[in-house]
Amino acid sequence: MGRGVGGAGIIPNATVPVTIEVNSNGNAIQQGTLGRINLAANQTYYVDYRTNANAPGANSLVAASLELNNTAVAGSNAVATSGGITQVLAGSAIISTGVLGGVLRLRNDAPTAGNFGSTAMNIIKLM
C-alpha cells in the first residue's frame, strides 16, 4: 500500500511519487525506483489509488491514471476541473502481468503540470 506522498509541479506524463509498504509474503510487489512499482510475472492484481491534485488557472484540469509497462491501463483514469482548488482523484483496475512481469506507476494525465499530495495506492495480488 502506498501512502501520503506526492509532489509539486509534476509535468504531464510524469510519475506521481508513491512509496509503498509491502504487507505480503514473497516478492510479488516491490518498490522500484522513481515512484515505480515492480510486479511479479504471470500474476493478476487489483490496484486502486487516491490522490489530491490541483493546478493553477480558472479552467485547469487535473488527471491521473495507472500505467503498466509504459501503456495506460484502460478505465483507471480520473479527471476533474481544478481551477486552483484541490480535487480528489481516484481510480482502480484489475491488471495482469505477462512472463516478464510489470512496472506499474501512477502518472499525471493532465495537459499541464499539477501538484499532487496525500497519494495512496493499494495493490492486492489476486492469483
pLDDT digits (tens, 9 = 90+) for 17-37: 887 666 666 788 988 888 899
Q: Is residue 28 part of a domain?
A: no
Q: Is residue 47 part of a domain?
A: yes
Predicted model pTM: 0.88
The CATH number assigned to the domain holding 40 equals 2.60.120.40
Q: For residue 9, what pLDDT is reported?
A: 85
Q: Is residue 59 part of a domain?
A: yes
Alpha-carbon gap, residue 104 to 19, rounded angstroms: 12
Interval 37-86: pLDDT, tens = 999 999 999 999 999 999 888 889 999 999 999 999 999 999 999 888 99
Q: For residue 21, what pLDDT is reported?
A: 65
Q: Is residue 13 part of a domain?
A: yes
- Identify the domain containing residue 68 by its residue range: 5-23+35-125
Q: Is residue 30 part of a domain?
A: no
Interval 101-126: pLDDT, tens = 999 999 999 999 999 998 989 999 98
What is the number of structural domains in the chain?
1
